[in-house]
Each structure stands twice: as structure tokens, then as C-alpha cells.
Chains A and B, each alone.
Chain A
Amino acid sequence: MRNKHNVHLLLWLAPLAFLAVFYFYPLGSILSLSLSRSEAGILAPFVEAVASDSVRRVIDFTIWQALLSTLLTLLLGLPGAYLLARYDFRGKGLLRALTGVPFVMPTLVVAAGFSALLGSHGWINVALMRLFDLPNPPIQFLNTLAAILVAHVFYNTTIVLRMVGDFWSHLDPRLGKAAQTLGANRWQVLHKVTLPLLSPAIYAAALLVFIFDFTSFGVILVLGGPHFATLEVEIYYQTISLFDLPLAAALSALQLSCTLGMTILYARLSGKISLPLKLQSRKHTQGRLITWRQRLFALGMVALLLIILTTPLLALAGRSLTTLGGIDSPEGSIAPGLTLAFYRELGINRQESLFYVTPLSAIGVSLTYASATVILALILGLPAAWALSTDRKSPLNRILDPLLMLPLGTSAVTLGLGFIIALAHPPLDLRASPLLVPIAHTLVAFPFVVRSLTPAMQSIQPRLRHAATVLGASPRQVIRHVDLPIVGRALLVAATFAFTISIGEFGATSLLSRPEFPTAPVAIYRLLSRPGAMNYGQALALSTILMAFAVVGMLAIERFRIAEVGEF
């Protein structure tokens, strides 16, 4: 027994050291900076911040938009979850796979996608202008609350579909039928049986959606414009534009306490989902679409999901290949129509450009950072997952398991700010280190890596190992034929998660990346905030390339994940 604890401790050493230096130390620095400002007591900086009108407005708006977004997401997600949970139809697998797309899509790509669809130079506005001969774009979408809400719904509907839908699909439909035979009508069944049974899944999903909306950054920065600021965006402005680090730190501390509280609550709730009632195999819970009402509902739901999930991305790819009016480029004017001009321009370093380097090289920077992130995240995630999988109930693991998930509930901008405050001076001066960005990305990716490795490792020990052993496999053969293939696939999934997270990460990167080494999302942001059709086109082209990487990553995850193994 003693021995086992020592092994655990050894496995935990590297991951814990990493978290201590790059998570707790920066967050501690934020806290101490925000406290150091005042002589009036510990709470003074927060009271002061909250008392100021502008900060109050930011806090109110942060909560308001998150609530509204969550509500809209549930409104779309719950009927969708019902469809996926209770019915089997052609193309369902494809629909399910498509719903995974937003999960890996970088925020900047989504923002660019909605801009390409509904922005003033987007498809719909241009089409309406042509059709009715209007002088100005009729739909004002960018810089509105609607843009923020729609993008949030795009992002988070998947969470409701998967979390509630999966739970629902294992719920015995006979419970509802039993209620009906006891005299309940359809609404009473929904109200008294189905919803109460689903409530842990619904609450958990809603809370997770709320957390994501609460800490949303890229979407609000790009689609909300200068009028809308959430806490996250305000921290960024205070840091980057106003250099008021103490105020930024106070806001960060405020946000951190909110998100950590919610994350702990979420962990409690999601724990409930995994130990419910007697769950049924899907074969017994899903039926075909038979009545016209069912078919109509399915058709409408599928169409709605498809429109919301695919149109921004299709608009983005299409718009990046099209010029709608004549554009004057340094090589001469480009005629309206299909063109690769935006892609070509990505590789050219213009004198007056806002880059020291070509925008295309941002892809190279992103790929380099992503590779470093994959390596770091696996080196740290493997021992942690190993320790967790051997004995989940050991006291050490019980404490450390939730600890690993903390970065998930910490906003990326806060992490970035923490790095700026803590790691910019001795003893740890990493300002100039090229590792700063990958380290931040590793923190963000770490929970995902551990979460995808642990179940696979758990599944092989000791059950499958014993099975292989009694079939005559020597310890070495067990590793070769059982451990490696199963963990190998989980490793691929974990690596892909780390890769796609890194390549799309914007919140922390926006604070940490150096001007001469912009990542792809940073480059897209710079291009989008510049006027001119050429800049806009390049932003879309770069977004499309990034989108392609994300889609490939998602396909890889779906491909390598072993059925029934893997949890979120």
C-alpha cells in the first residue's frame, strides 16, 4: 500500500509542479496585485471596482448576455436533444458529427464566419442590396447584441445536444408510458416525469453553457464591437490599451471567484449524471419517425440545426473565394467573381502592411505552437491520467482530480494576464521565451487531455489486462496488444484535442503573443479590425485555412475515439 502511494506521488510530481508554477502562481499574483492597490482593506479594490458605474455596467452586461444566451441555447438545444435521443433516422450520424464542429472551431473563425454571412459585406446584405438596389446594407448585424447571442447559440447548442441528448437516449421510455397508464397526459408526463429525470443533465448543461458565455471573449470582441464589453473583454482593454494592470487584476479576481464557484457547482452536477437510475441501451429507447407530426418536427429541427451550424462556415469559405465588387490590389484591380487573390495575398509581405511578416507565416507560428502544446500536454497529462486510472478512489486522487479541472473554469484572458503579471520579472522572466504561448495553451488543453486519456486507461486495468493474461499473453504482450492499441488511440484523441485547442486559442494568446510572431487567430483579428476589402478578404481566407485544420482535427477525434470509451 505504502509503495503504491509513493508511485502515485511520483506520477503527480510533474503535473502538479506545472500547475503550481503556471496556474496557481500567476493567479496568486493577480490576487496579490489587486489587493496591493488599497490600504483600505482586503475588499476595498473590489468594492471600489463594483462601485464604479462603468464596471457595474460591464458586470451587468456580462451576466445579462450570458443568461440570455443560455436561455436561447436551451430553447434550440432541448428539442434537438429530444430528436437525437428518441428517434433513429437516416443521416443521424452525419448530423451528430456536424454538431461536433462548433466544439473545435476557433472563436475568430466563427466571428469571421458570421461576418461573412451577416456583416455589411456579408452574403445576405450584399444579396439584399443587389436585389432591391439599396445604397446601404439593410441588416445591421455586427456590433449588436443579436450577433453575440447568435454566435453563442452556434457555439453551445452542441453542449445541450450532447449532454442532455446522451442522457435522454439512455432513459427508459417506458417510464413515460407507465405515467400515461397511470392517467397522466402528455404535458403531465413531460412536467412530472421526463423533465425531473432529465434535470441533472439539463442543469449541468445549462451551467456549462452559462460559464462559457460568461467568459466569452473573441466573439464579443469581434462581433460585439466597441459598445459591448464583458468582464473578459474589459480585462483585455484595461491590460492592452489602458495599461491599468491593478484594475485588470481586480476584475480578474472578481471573475475568477465567479467562474470557480460555478465550476465547482458544475462538477457536482455532472457527477450526478453518471450515477443515475437504471440506464437502458439505446436499442430500446429509440424509434423510427412514423407519424406526420414526428416527421415534420424532425425535418424542421434538422433544417434549423443545419442552418445555424453550417451557414456561417459555408459563407466563410465561399466568401474567401469571391470578390463582390472590384478591388484595387497592388497588382491591379480584381474583377468581381471567383478568385484566389486573398489567399495569394496572404503570402506577400507588403511594405505598408501591419505585419513584420506575411500573414501566412502566422499559420507556421500557430503550427509550431500547437506542436509544442501537444508535446507538453501529453508529457504532463499521461502521468496524471495514469495515476487517476489506477485508483480513482484513493484519497490523493480524490483531491487532485478536481484540481486538474480548475483551468477549465478559468478564463483564458485571466490566464494571460496572470502570465503578464507573474512571469515578466525575476525569478521567472519568460517574457521573451517562445514557450510562453504554448505553456498557456497547455493549461487550457490539459483538462481535455486528462479527460480523454483517463477512461481509456481505466478500461484496460485491470479487466482487459487480466483477460489478455489468462489467454496466454505475457506482460510484454499485454502492453503490446492491449495497452498500446487502446491507450494509443486515446493518445491520438488527446493530442488532437491539444492541437485544435492550441491552434484556435485567442484569449490568452491575444495578451501573450509577440508582435513579430502572431498566431493565426491573432492575425485574423488584426486583419478584421482593419478597413478595406483586401484586409477583409485575407481575414476570411486565413479563417478558412484555420477552419480546415479544425475540421480535420475533429474528424480525427471522431475516428480514433473507441466506442463507449471517452467522457467529457
Chain B
Amino acid sequence: MSGLSLTDLHKSFGPTQALRGISFDVAEGEIVAVLGPSGCGKSTLLGIIAGLEEPDAGAIFWDDRNLAGVPPHKRGFGLMFQDYALFPHKNVRENVAFGPQMAGWNEVAIRQRVEEALILVGLPDYGERDVASLSGGEQQRVALARSLAPRPRLLMLDEPLGSLDRTLRDRLLVELREILQRTGQTALYVTHDQEEAFSLADRVVVMNQGQVAQIGTPQAVYRQPANPFVARFLGLNNIFQGEVHAGQIRSPIGDFPAPKDAVGTITFLIRPDTVRLDGSGSAQLKGLVLARTFRGGFCRLEIEIASHSLVFDLPSTGIDLPQPGANILLDYDPRDTIQLL
């Protein structure tokens, strides 16, 4: 296939296993986000793809060519560092020009490309600035311009928005997506923030303790988390175990129809946004309201069912929601039950 292919990458540092059999593909022009908590091996993965570190086992392919033994500067991959790593002895223009210079472009082409890259990130007049004088957001843009300038066939971004404050992050996220899409850039984006991953990526690779926990489009991963780890990482905590008997789940929070093909003991998830109060469901959940929080577009209810605490989100308009302390009857469609591995 054309693009990046990772097969069964392993890497250990002493007793800690950073990567334990990572395999996935990034097609040309695709933006893939690697999502996972800190310490799950994301940064190690980027270092290995870039060639800065050697994998203990496994292989990296680009367009079906094995990259083993290809030194980092000949891979044509760009990497934008978490702390930017701008060269302190060069100004903005010289930082951005570095990649094209190393690639041996001619002066005119370099000048043009630097200008283009700076316009792309919205800093057209910053060429002669000293990098030490830039704010965090400006440094981030310069780092992006620098990694885009040599037209890498793959751009890797390591938590590029991690150290910025919320508002700036939201704004830059939109710009970043636009820039990557407009240039058709193949990109691998590493983050611990699901919002970033979901709003930016064509596909998401969720990582946990050096392994791939799930791969899919943002919608698919959110709709259908594969296992309790992914569900919890996405903030979906209504997870229970139950026994399947004759098409029914028997669980601590009640009995209802089981998903198709489910047998034996299963772990399942009830998504917080799948209940209603309109009597339309074929199953009911009965509980006690513990807390009610207004969240703008929806209300979050914490509900106790058989001494288990569940969280549900209900539309905040149209209906009067019960107060804490009141009993509640939630309508539920058993087809929304998600079986986890």
C-alpha cells in the first residue's frame, strides 16, 4: 500500500515495555491520531518511526519499502516536537529555512517556501524575529512552519498543543486541521486529548500500555468503544458485567435483552446519551437521582440503581428533570447496549 505501515513494533527500556506489538497503517493524505494517556508509549512510537530510536522488533514500511537502516535524515519524515525545539541561535526565517537547506534546495526556492510556510501558519512578517521573543502560540506556529517547510511525506506531531492554554488551543486546533487538510499532508498526530484527536483525525488509534486498544474513525470509536479501557478513557463509565441467559442479560442494574450473539459472561456499556424520559423505550431503568448538573445543551444526572452509580445526559430543554432525591424511570432501548471485550 502507499503510505506508512507499522508491523508488530516492540521496544523496551530496561524492564519497562514501552511498545508491545504495535501495528497499523497511515494511508497517503490521511490524518491519523494516536490517542492515549501519558506514558502509553506514544512518544516512543514517534521516535522509532522517525528513526531516532531503533525498535527491538518489528518493521516500518513506507510505500512497501522497509525503512530499517535508513537514517532519520533520509526518511523524509517531519517531526514537530512537544516543546518545539526551535534553534535558539537562529531567527524565525532561519529556523524555517533549515529543512529546505538541508535538502539542498536553491536559494530562490528556499526563500519562496519560507514565505509560503510563514503565511500558511499566519506569521507572514515574523521572519526576522528572534525565537526567544515569541509567545508560546507563536513558537508553536513557527515549529509547525519549520516542520512543513521541507514538504515531508509524513508529518508527525507530538502533543503540539499540549503546553498551550485552552482558548489558544481551540483556535489553533481549527487552524491546524485546515492547514493539514489544505496541503493534503499525511500526518500522524499524537495526543492525550480525545477532543483534539476526534476533531482533527480521519482515523484514531487508541493506545494503552504499549498496545493498540482500538482503531477506527472518530465516530466509530466514540459510538462503539471496543473495550472498557477505551470506554473509560473517553469518559464513558456506565460499565457492568452480566450473565446472558436465553437472550436476556442478568446484571446488577436489572435484566434486559442481550445484544445479538452474546453468550456467557459479558461486559457491557450503557452510553450516557441513550436514555429518554418519553416512555418510548422497550426497557426501563429505575433509580434515584443523586445529583443534577446543568451543562448547557444537556443536563447530567447521576443516578443510583441498585447501589450502583450511573451517569446520564438528558436534553436540558423541553422537559422538567427531577430534583436530586426524586425517583426516576428512564426509557432505554436495549439495542443501544454495547458489548465490550
Cβ–Cβ < 8 Å partners of A459 in chain B: 88
Cβ–Cβ < 8 Å partners of B73 in chain A: 469-475, 477
B98 touches A464 (CB 8 A): no
B123 CB, nearest partner CB in chain A, Å: 18
B87 touches A482 (CB 8 A): yes
Q: Write out, one digit per residue, whether chain B residues 55-92 have a CB within 8 A of any chain A CB (1) or not (0).
A: 00000000000000001111111110101011111000
Known: A477-B102, A564-B132. A469 touches B72 (CB 8 A): yes
B83 touches A562 (CB 8 A): no
Question: How far, in angstroms, from A417 to B99 measured CA to CA in the complex?
Answer: 56
Question: How far, in angstroms, from A466 to B72 measured CA to CA in the complex?
Answer: 9
B50 touches A467 (CB 8 A): no
Question: Does A489 lie at the interface of the complex (its beta carbon under 8 Å from any beta carbon of B)?
Answer: yes
B88 touches A565 (CB 8 A): yes
Question: Does A481 lie at the interface of the complex (its beta carbon under 8 Å from any beta carbon of B)?
Answer: yes
Cβ–Cβ < 8 Å partners of A469 in chain B: 50-52, 71-73
Question: How far, in angstroms, from A470 to B85 measured CA to CA in the complex?
Answer: 12
Question: Does B103 lie at the interface of the complex (its beta carbon under 8 Å from any beta carbon of A)?
Answer: yes
A467 touches B85 (CB 8 A): yes
Cβ–Cβ < 8 Å partners of B147 in chain A: 470-471
A467 touches B88 (CB 8 A): no
B88 touches A473 (CB 8 A): no
Q: Write out, one digit per residue, whether chain A residues 444-488 have a CB within 8 A of any chain B CB (1) or not (0).
A: 000000000000000100111011111111110100011001100
Cβ–Cβ < 8 Å partners of A472 in chain B: 73-74, 76, 99, 102-103, 150
Cβ–Cβ < 8 Å partners of A486 in chain B: 87-89
Question: How far, in angstroms, from A343 to B172 measured CA to CA in the complex?
Answer: 65
Question: Does B146 lie at the interface of the complex (its beta carbon under 8 Å from any beta carbon of A)?
Answer: yes
A562 touches B88 (CB 8 A): yes
Question: Does A428 lie at the interface of the complex (its beta carbon under 8 Å from any beta carbon of B)?
Answer: no
Cβ–Cβ < 8 Å partners of A468 in chain B: 87, 98, 102
B52 touches A564 (CB 8 A): no
Closest to A482 in B: B87
Cβ–Cβ < 8 Å partners of A563 in chain B: 88, 130, 132
Most buried by A among B47, B72, B75: B72
Q: Which residue of A467, A474, A475, A562 contacts B81 across the interface (Cβ within 8 Å)?
A: A467
B146 touches A471 (CB 8 A): yes
A464 touches B87 (CB 8 A): yes
A470 touches B102 (CB 8 A): no
A473 CB, nearest partner CB in chain B, Å: 5
Cβ–Cβ < 8 Å partners of B51 in chain A: 469
Most buried by B among A471, A473, A475: A471
Q: Write out, one digit per residue, whether chain A residues 192-223 have a CB within 8 A of any chain B CB (1) or not (0).
A: 00000000000000000000000000000000
A489 CB, nearest partner CB in chain B, Å: 7
Cβ–Cβ < 8 Å partners of A475 in chain B: 71, 73
Q: Tell me the number of A-to-B contacts counted with CB atoms below 8 Å.
A: 78
A294 CB, nearest partner CB in chain B, Å: 26
B147 CB, nearest partner CB in chain A, Å: 7
Closest to B132 in A: A563
Cβ–Cβ < 8 Å partners of B88 in chain A: 459, 486, 562-565
Known: A470-B52, A470-B78. A464 touches B85 (CB 8 A): yes
B81 touches A473 (CB 8 A): no
Known: A486-B88, A486-B89. A481 touches B98 (CB 8 A): yes
A467 touches B87 (CB 8 A): yes
A92 CB, nearest partner CB in chain B, Å: 16
Closest to B99 in A: A471
Question: How far, in angstroms, from A485 to B86 measured CA to CA in the complex?
Answer: 14
A316 CB, nearest partner CB in chain B, Å: 36
Known: A466-B52, A563-B132, A564-B132. A471 touches B85 (CB 8 A): no
Known: A471-B98, A471-B150. A466 touches B81 (CB 8 A): yes
Known: A468-B98, A564-B132. A463 touches B85 (CB 8 A): yes
A470 touches B89 (CB 8 A): no
Question: How far, in angstroms, from A292 to B147 measured CA to CA in the complex?
Answer: 50
A106 CB, nearest partner CB in chain B, Å: 31
Cβ–Cβ < 8 Å partners of B83 in chain A: 463
B52 touches A562 (CB 8 A): no
Closest to A477 in B: B102
B266 CB, nearest partner CB in chain A, Å: 45
Closest to B79 in A: A470
B89 touches A466 (CB 8 A): no
A565 CB, nearest partner CB in chain B, Å: 6
B98 touches A463 (CB 8 A): no
Question: How far, in angstroms, from A565 to B87 measured CA to CA in the complex?
Answer: 12
Known: A564-B88, A564-B132, A565-B88. A470 touches B98 (CB 8 A): no
A309 CB, nearest partner CB in chain B, Å: 27
Question: How far, in angstroms, from A562 to B147 measured CA to CA in the complex?
Answer: 23
B59 CB, nearest partner CB in chain A, Å: 19
A456 CB, nearest partner CB in chain B, Å: 9
Cβ–Cβ < 8 Å partners of A466 in chain B: 47, 50, 52, 72, 79, 81, 85
Cβ–Cβ < 8 Å partners of A474 in chain B: 71, 73, 102
Cβ–Cβ < 8 Å partners of B72 in chain A: 466, 469-470
A527-568, CB < 8 A from B: 562-565
Question: How far, in angstroms, from A562 to B86 measured CA to CA in the complex?
Answer: 13
Closest to B146 in A: A471
B132 touches A470 (CB 8 A): no
B96 CB, nearest partner CB in chain A, Å: 10
Question: How far, in angstroms, from A58 to B164 measured CA to CA in the complex?
Answer: 59
Q: Write out, one digit per residue, whether chain A residues 50-84 have a CB within 8 A of any chain B CB (1) or not (0).
A: 00000000000000000000000000000000000
Question: How far, in angstroms, from A20 to B99 measured CA to CA in the complex?
Answer: 46
Task: Provide 5 A-B residue pairs closer than 8 Å at the C-beta atoms, listed in order of the A residue.
Answer: A466-B79, A471-B98, A473-B73, A475-B73, A486-B87
The residues of A with any CB-CB pair to B shorter than 8 Å are: 459, 462-464, 466-475, 477, 481-482, 485-486, 489, 562-565
Would you list the 3 A-B pairs with minimal beta carbon distance, nearest first? A472-B102, A467-B85, A471-B99
Given contacts A459-B88, A470-B79, A471-B99, 18 further A-B contacts (CB under 8 A): A466-B81, A467-B86, A468-B98, A470-B77, A470-B78, A471-B150, A472-B73, A472-B74, A472-B150, A473-B98, A474-B102, A475-B71, A482-B87, A489-B89, A563-B130, A563-B132, A564-B132, A565-B88
